[in-house]
Amino acid sequence: MNIDSVLRSSIQKAIQDLFNQQVDNFQLQPTNQEFEGSHTLVCFPLTKLSRKSPEETGKIMGEYLVQHAGIVERFNVVKGFLNLVLNDKVWIETLQSIVENSSYGQLPERGEEIMIEYSSPNTNKPLHLGHLRNNFLGYSVAEIYKANGYKVHKVQIINDRGIHICKSMAAWTLYGEGETPESSGIKGDHLVGKYYVEFDKAYKAQVKALVEKGMTQDQAEKEAPMMKLAADMLRKWEQKDSDIVELWKMMNGWVYKGFDETYKLMGVEFDKLYYESDTYLLGKAEVLKGLEKGVFFKKDDGSVWVDLTVDGLDQKVLLRSDGTSVYMTQDIGTAILRFSDFPKIVGQIYTVGNEQEYHFKVLFLILNKLGYEWARRCYHLSYGMVDLPTGKMKSREGTVVDADDLIAEMIEEAEKQTRALGKIEDMNGEEARDLFKMIGLGALKFFLLKVDPKKRMLFDPNESIQLQGFTGPFIQYTHARIRAIIRKAESIGVFQSKSNFNEIASLEPAEREVIKSLSMFENKLREAARDYSPAVIANFAYELAKEYNQFYQTIPIFNEADQNKLRLRIALSKSVADVINRSMGLLGIHVPEKM
RNA sequence: GGUCCGAUAGCUCAACUGGAUAGAGCAACAGCCUUCUAAGCUGUAGGUUCGGGGUUCGAGUCCCUGUCGGAUCACCA
């Protein structure tokens, strides 16, 4: 049963009967901890209907509900707030229905498909902390949408061409001496990244030398031989020069192999990959069509523009005067391509940092102007930058936190702290390694996902490896503890008869609180999807675990002589473990049987 | 300069979209292991929600204004 909707319709009926009015937008909120009750009706807005004081209104409503709504046991009114105490039978029935619902936390199929893009790295350097936030967010939002009944397609666009990769290619050609991942033992993406740094070093030295010889900064930046070489490679690549294309393929191949390893470690995956080298020429035809339709306009020099001044934005170039595409053109083409690849999707979610907010605003406006109905359902999942205690991450200053290094450190730290507690002596080597990985990654993912995606966040390495308090491992630990209880319950045969809680008359407060938390899960799922926010799930999972730990601490489960009550406690525990497992799964975090 | 975000306990974050005395974790202090895992639980202390106006029964939340951060405004991606 759904308590909220039952209660809402009772309240609606009460208003109807008492005040002879049709209202359905009254405010029903959770009761504050300090007052008795679970649901609170805010009475101020109702005073217009009742023409009585808020207190009086609350009292009348409360009395009516106790008499007519079967589920309200008693009430109290504090100021204008009507606090409702539901009878324990309702909570017991709620638990019963959660226990019996094997797909609790999976909302019904909507028959809609949606696409989500995330990761989308450049191929000239390895992934870093910013990519971790991006990937974890994208993966998690995809899972949240699945749980909301959507069919989800996860994609990324790999920025595999352009001047950035040519820089790495240029430096490798000059200084590489044939070095490969195999010959050096360096992971492919890191090796290519190494030459990207080499390029930058050599380039800067050349610019400096030219400026000292009297060139202006601008001129020097264009004239430096390193840059000319990279630009030349880009030109040759576009002309499909076979030597350059071979080199490009080889180095990108190294990077992909490296990325694959990192993605595997991170536990993210994709249903389809788009490559910029395939899509960068798309969109031009669309722009020309739009030009014919009069959606865009042409300037005297031949360049094509969109005028967004009526939308409060500027004019934006879509085709250069030489007829070539820009980034925006390509994104228009890619969006349309994706809708023809997946004709059933109703929209797209782009997981991209907030520095590109303007870009996506423009992109969606343009798609809309081109007449694509689905443009309304395109959403930029914009997230804030990750800062370090030392300030911003800057690749040039070497303050970037490398994804592979960070994950390795987290796992190492998890191992150190786990071993120190001495609880895993009976595990074999492989089990232990899996556990360290689960805990290390759980800590990292939870740390990055518990914060509202929109907000920029601070990554403090010391805090992220903490395993106590509002952390992933705290929740994993709660799960492991419950699993120990379930194992014990199984060994003494508690599950042998089917659970039926009808004969239980009342609950302990701690039990009631846990059921209350459990019952919020599906609402949280909807909220998380609506807000594109895994943080909603992270907060929920934490609240649930905390609530359960209080129960665990105050009530010794197996001391209970009444078999029905014992079964209820075991069933309650199992439901918590299941919901923790499921909600952590939505964050891409695994939970252990023991830790 | 225009536009858009943000500012909440010493630190990191919440606050059900306008509701009650603004909540957690970390750090500090004081307690709880012969019991189902102490990666836990209980308590103490910590606040002019950046400043100033306004809107109303009620504002951390909405409006105006100022201060301080950040992003963005390329025939770059």
pLDDT tens-digit readout, A146-161: 999 999 999 999 999 9
**Residue A531: which nucleotide is closest by CA–C1'?**
B17
- Please report which confidence band the pLDDT of residue A399 belongs to, taking 50, 70 and 90 as the band edges: confident
* Neighbouring residues of A201: CB distance < 8 A, sequence distance ≥ 6: none
Sort strands A386-387 and A457-458 into parallel, antiparallel or unpaired.
parallel
Q: What Å value separates CA A48 and C1' B55? A: 20
* Rg of chain A in Å (alpha carbons): 30
Write down the pLDDT at residue A182. Answer: 97
Q: What Å value separates CA A353 and C1' B63? A: 30
Q: What Å value separates CA A78 and C1' B42? A: 28
Tokens, residue A483: 């699993």
Is the pLDDT score of A400 beyond 90?
no
Q: What Å value separates CA A154 and C1' B63? A: 41
Is the pLDDT score of A9 beyond 70?
yes
Strands across the sheet containing A39-42: A28-30, A39-42, A81-86, A72-78
Q: What Å value separates CA A417 and C1' B41? A: 21
Look at the block and give the residue holding tokens 């044939």: A178
Three-state SS letters, A232-284: HHHHHHHCCCHHHHHHHHHHHHHHHHHHHHHHHHHCCCCCEEEEHHHHCCCCH
Q: What Å value separates CA A364 and C1' B1? A: 27
What does residue A110 show for φ and ψ, rounded to 5 degrees? -95, -15
Write down the pLDDT at residue A2. Answer: 81
- Please report which confidence band the pLDDT of residue A392 belongs to, taking 50, 70 and 90 as the band edges: confident
**Which ipTM value was assigned to this complex?**
0.96
**Residue A480: which nucleotide is closest by CA–C1'?**
B37
Is the pLDDT score of A482 beyond 80?
yes
Residue from A589, A525, A538 nearest A144 by CA:
A525
Category of A163 on φ-ψ map: left (φ > 0), alpha (ψ -120 to 50) or beta: alpha
Neighbours of A382 (CB within 10 A): 17
Please, are residues A251 and A169 in contact by the beta-carbon 8 Å criterion?
A: yes
**Residue A330: which nucleotide is closest by CA–C1'?**
B77
Residues in chain A: 595
Three-state SS letters, A475-536: HHHHHHHHHHHHHHHHHCCHHHCCCCCCCCCCCCHHHHHHHHHHHCHHHHHHHHHHCCCHHH
Q: Read off the DSSP letter of residue A159.
A: B
Neighbours of A396 (CB within 10 A): 9
Please, are residues A381 and A141 in contact by the beta-carbon 8 Å criterion?
A: yes
Is the pLDDT score of A397 beyond 70?
no
Average pLDDT, chain A: 93
Percentage of chain A modeled with pLDDT above 90: 81
Question: What's the half-sphere exposure (Cβ side, CA atoms, 13 Å) at A235?
Answer: 6
Q: Which residue is nearest to nucleotide B12 (CA to C1')?
A: A458
Q: Measure Cα distances from A244 to A173, A230, A397 in Å.
A: 11, 11, 30
Sort strands A112-117 and A297-298 into parallel, antiparallel or unpaired.
unpaired
- Please report which confidence band the pLDDT of residue A314 belongs to, taking 50, 70 and 90 as the band edges: confident
Q: Which residue is nearest to nucleotide B57 (CA to C1')?
A: A44
Q: What Å value separates CA A33 and C1' B48? A: 26
Please give the residue that has the higher pLDDT: either A319 or A394. A319
**Residue A538: which nucleotide is closest by CA–C1'?**
B14
Residue from A154, A563, A588 nearest A350 by CA:
A154
Neighbours of A366 (CB within 10 A): 25
Residue from A504, A520, A509 nearest A553 by CA:
A509
d(CA A286, CA A371): 11
**Mean pLDDT, rounded, for A210-219:** 88
Look at the block and give the residue holding tokens 């001496």: A177
What does residue A77 show for φ and ψ, rounded to 5 degrees? -115, 120
**What CATH number has the domain spanning A410-586?**
1.10.730.10
Q: What Å value separates CA A533 and C1' B16? A: 14
Q: Which residue is nearest to nucleotide B27 (CA to C1')?
A: A463
Write down the pLDDT at residue A65. Answer: 95
What single letter denotes the amino acid at residue A226?
M
Tokens, residue A38: 């679970």
Q: What top-level class would CATH report for the domain A112-387?
A: alpha beta
Cα-Cα-Cα-Cα dihedral sign, residues A485, A490, A494, A495:
positive
Q: Which residue is nearest to nucleotide B24 (CA to C1')?
A: A470
Q: Which residue is nearest to nucleotide B37 (CA to C1')?
A: A481
| Bases of chain B with protein Cβ within 7 A | 3-6, 11-17, 19-21, 24-27, 35-42, 57-58, 70-77
Q: Which ranges of A126-187 would DSSP assign to H, the alpha helix?
A: 129-147, 163-175, 181-184
Write down the pLDDT at residue A313. Answer: 85
Summarised one tens digit per residue, pLDDT across range A438-463 is 999 999 999 999 999 999 999 988 88
Tokens, residue A174: 């000059």
Summarised one tens digit per residue, pLDDT across range A520-552 is 999 999 999 999 999 999 999 999 999 999 999
Q: What Å value separates CA A151 and C1' B26? A: 39
Instruction: Give the largest CA-CA distance in chain A.
Output: 93
**Residue A556: which nucleotide is closest by CA–C1'?**
B36
- Please report which confidence band the pLDDT of residue A34 belongs to, taking 50, 70 and 90 as the band edges: confident
Is the pLDDT score of A496 beyond 60?
no
- Domain range A3-86, CATH architecture: 2-Layer Sandwich (3.30)
Q: Which residue is nearest to nucleotide B33 (CA to C1')?
A: A553
d(CA A329, CA A322): 14
Q: Which residue is nearest to nucleotide B21 (CA to C1')?
A: A34
**Mean pLDDT, rounded, for A248-273:** 97
Q: What Å value separates CA A473 and C1' B77? A: 39
Sort strands A345-353 and A378-383 into parallel, antiparallel or unpaired.
parallel
Is the pLDDT score of A499 beyond 80?
no
Q: What Å value separates CA A26 and C1' B63? A: 25
**Mean pLDDT, rounded, for A273-293:** 93
**Residue A535: which nucleotide is closest by CA–C1'?**
B14
Domain coordinates in residue numbering, chain A: 3-86, 112-387, 410-586
* Neighbouring residues of A400: CB distance < 8 A, sequence distance ≥ 6: A128, A129, A393, A394
**Residue A319: which nucleotide is closest by CA–C1'?**
B75
